[in-house]
Structure 1
C-alpha cells in the first residue's frame, strides 16, 4: 500500500515538472517574439527608405533585363541629320523656293541668315526641321533648273535602345517617388521629414532629367534637322538685240551712226597723234618748206 502511494506521488511530481517546463518554454518564446517585434517597431524611416531604394534598384535591374528582350524593329527611333550645299543663279529666288519646299512638307525654319559680298552677289544658310516621313523626299527633290547641289550628306543615329532604357528607369524612379511620398506623410519627426524630403527631391530631379532626355529624343526623331548652305553664282549675259526686228530705216540710221562714230574716232586719233608728235613734226615741216623755197628760187634764177 505504501509502495503504491510513493509511486503515485512520483508520477504526480513528474507530471508537474513537465507542465512547469512547458510553461517556462512558452514564456521564453513569447519574450523572444516580443523582443523581435520591438526591434521591428524600432526600424527607422531612413532604413525603410534604403529598403525602398534597394527594391527600386531591383526593379531597374528587372526592367533592364526586360529591355534586352524588346523587339526594336517595331518602334525604331532614328535621328536623321542632313547637310546640303547649293549653288544658285539667284539667291532671293532660291531662298523663297526653299521656304516653300519646307512649309509644303509641314516643316519650319529654325534659323536663316544671308550675307552681301563684293560683286553684288549673296550667300547664306538655313537650318530647317522636316518631319521624318518627308525628310528623304525633301533631300532628293531640291535640285532644280537654277539650283545645283555641290555637297550632300545624310547621317542617322539609332536611339531606340536608349529610349527604352530611359522608359524603364523612369518607371522605377516613379515607383520610388510614390513610396517616398507615402513615407513623407507618415513621418513623425522633423529629422525624418527632412531626410525624406532630400531623397524625394533627388528622385524627382532624376525623373525630370529622364523625361527631358526622352522629350529630346522624341522631338529629334520625329523632326529631322537639315543644314543648308546657299551660294549665289550669278552669270551676267548682256542683252542682244534682235536685228531682224529692226526695220530698214532703223538699220540705216544705225549704220550711219556707226560710220560717223568711226570717222570721229579716226579724226580724234589723228588729232591726238599730231599733237603728240608736234615737237618733231613742226621742225621737219619748217625744213621741208625751206628746201622747197630754195629750190624754187634756184629754178627761177636759171
Structure 2
C-alpha cells in the first residue's frame, strides 16, 4: 500500500512536471505566433510568415506579398518653385498616411534647395514616389529593397525562448529559501529580462522599418548645379567651369575694390598730397652742390698748382743766399 501511494505520488509529480513543460511549450508557441492576426500586433508585423509556421524557428512563407521587406528610396527633382513643391511633397506623404521625418531648406532665388525625408506606409511607397516625380523634371531616382523575413522569424523565435527563460527564472525565484539563492536568482532574472528587452527593441525597430518606408526627396531650383557624381567632364566642361570661376573671382575682386575705394578717397588723397608737398619743400631747401672738374682737366689760366708746403719768396738775381 505504501509503495502504491509512493508510486501515485511520483506519477502525479511526473505528470505535473510534464504538464508544466507542455504549458511552457504551448506558451512559447503562442508568443512566437504574431499578434497581428487579430489586429492587435505591433505596427508593421505581417501575419503571413508567422501564420504559415507551426512553431518558433519554422521556415517563413515564401510568397512575396507575405514577406517582410524594407523599402528605401531617394529622388531628385528640378522644379520651378521649391517652396510650393516642398509643400506638395509634404501633403503627398500626409495623404498616404505617413509623415515628414526631416525638412531642410536653403532659399536663394532660383538656386533654392529643399531636402525632405518622408515616411510612408510600405504599400503606398511606389505611388508616392511617382507623385513626387511628377512635381517637376526628375533628374535621379534610386530605390533599394531589403528582405528581412528571415531576421524577423529569428527574432520571434529568440523572443519566445527568452520569455520562457524569464518565466522559469521567476518561478525559481518564488521557491528560493536562502538569501544567497535569492540574490543569485535576482541577478539572473535581471540579466534575462535585459536580454529580452533588447530583443523586443530590435523587433520594434524592424517592424517600424517594414511598416513605414523612407523616401529622401531633393527639390532644387531651375538654376541649381548638378551633383558632384553627375557633373560632366571634358574640355568644354572644364572651359565652362573655368569661366564660371573667373566670373566669380572678378565679382569678388570688384566687391573688395568697392569696399576699399571709400577708404582710399578719404585717407589716400590727403596722404598723397602731404607727401607731394613735403617732397617739394625739401627740393627747394636743398643747396646746389659745387661743380666738380673732371679728373685730368688742366686748371684755368692764372691759377697755378697749389704747393702743399709754405710758399717761398721769389729769388733776386745776384743775391746770395744766406749761409
Give the TM-score normalised by the residue count of structure 1: 0.54
Aligned to 2:176: 187
**Equivalent position of 1:170 in the other structure:** 159
Q: Based on CA coordinates, which of the two structures has the bigger radius of gyration?
A: 1
1:75 to 66, 77, 95: 66
Q: Which residues in structure 2 correspond to 1:35-74 (within 5 Å)?
A: 67-73=57-63
Asked if structure 1 preserves the Cα contact closer than 8 Å seen for 2:56 and 2:156, the reply is: no
Question: Which residue, out of 112, 124, 138, partners 1:122?
Answer: 112
Indicate whether 1:142 and 2:132 are aligned.
yes
Name which of 205, 214, 219 aligns with 2:208. Answer: 219
Q: CA RMSD in A?
A: 2.7
Partner of 1:110: 101
Residue deviations 1:229-268 (CA, integer Å, cap 9, x gap)? 1111169xxxxxxxxxxxxxxxxxxxxxxxxxxxxxxxxx
CA 1:129–1:230: 2 relative to 1, 3 Å: same
Contact 1:90 1:234 in 2 (8 A): no
Report the CA distance shift for 1:75/1:229 in structure 2 as closer, same or farther (over 3 A).
same
Give, in angstroms, the shift of residue 142 of structure 1.
2.2
3-state DSSP class of the match of 1:214? helix
| Gap runs ≥5 in structure 1 | 1-51, 236-302
Aligned positions of 1:1-302 closer than 5 A: 67-73=57-63, 75-117=66-108, 121-144=111-134, 147-233=136-222
Runs of 4+ in 1 over 6 A off after TM superposition: none
Q: How many residues align?
A: 176
Q: As a proportion of its length, which structure holds more helix?
A: 1
